[in-house]
Chains A and B, each alone.
Chain A
């Protein structure tokens, strides 16, 4: 259950529309089964009251939409930002990707988003409705007479289990209480991989990446990937390709993508959420974050606007490329 209710958000949006603060609202709209929620732009009270939803399945990070929408929208856009979304929001501002003046950001607290696959693993397929408003999540399927009561914590998405911050780093207005930066265990999985032998790691990633179908969902959902022209779409870049025609292509794509967002990735986890093949892509990005934290000092992309990312910075006594492996002796 989320702390700020759907009704509160709708009322807020309606009032900001009514007093002319904003001309449209970027929010979530409901789908067929209570969990298939789509980002949508609302411009009037009726559609807000009818379609706006806010529940445990509103995972989509809106920040990226602001790049295109602020260019098109007359007037200000109201955007509701979960704590993790605010980091992406700031990062995009750091990169001058949209005009801050055209956005009215309302921070909303987030209790974590649910992973529908985890829900289905518990309740089975054939979901006809999900009620997230109670203490527990009530999942009704066509195969059972009574809804199954599920602990929201047991179906949290991976990225929410390892939530890095409940603090909003950007907003014009905050609803509910402000949270704190969390000392999460998000690097544990990376550390586990680091502790493996190179052969094990190679097998692990070969297995994961071989599932890649190059649908580009990770890239297209990524709030750091807002390039006007992506190198993978640009025939002149030398890396353009449409298919995972060879195991090299998969690695190339994911290495380059991770490198391009290194220092810019806020670890929002959209890449892994949207991957239809369930590849843990966030681990690549987290690996870069972990390395940069360890080698160049703690840095959280998006924590503040205008900060200088580790890869566009240096000190004269940085460690040597050969030294990054020091202390990682599992396989020396």
Chain B
């Protein structure tokens, strides 16, 4: 846990609740399982003591603003604040109904990468210590172990290439602003399949999404997915079959990603939520790159910005057109 941040978030939350500035504070709490810190909504000062800030805050809290009545405070690092900007621009959330507690993200840890590292052991506890994680547990013979690993080794992919670690809008910022970028170059990794041959790309796509069990955690965790009826749930007409057939699964993923084009802020919540560990961002980050390169647009940075698919310029690239 990033202790000082945690303390300050609690302090701010208590003040806001006490002064009745907001009805609730949407933040994170400690998980009941190592590395599974989870969304939490505090309504009272006592409950505010459950709020934390850690390297395992991977869910997108902006989701919980959709449809919420009254005024809420929300803990927001860069990507969450950008999601809020999106929701404001898409008329899902009113700016005056949100009190944004801005915070800096250290870059979140990919729990699966840690589990992978200790694949033959049972992890019982994970502590944070600066740039390191202290992983404790036991092996199958019951022998205990304790090991330090660098957080950098197990950071989520999207946090490596993040360009906005500090909240982009906020009513109050907690702690010092930190390093703005994750250090990685998004263009090197955004669309890894571009390097592959045509057939290899299809194989990579199949390999990546083939294990989907259609639980829709990726969709349901995503603050962009607020349609009252998702296309995949429509029955008149039914756009997409309900089976485990590859074509049904892939249609869902291609279309869902496409619906996020020009809107996705690459928060990585979809990947973190996927119980099967599917690299869901393979599609969204490609679209994000295209939107950036073709139309010079980066979503979630400016309230009032016109969404890139709702406008055009006469000089837009036209090579997709059959002449």
The yes or no verdict on A and B being binding partners is: no
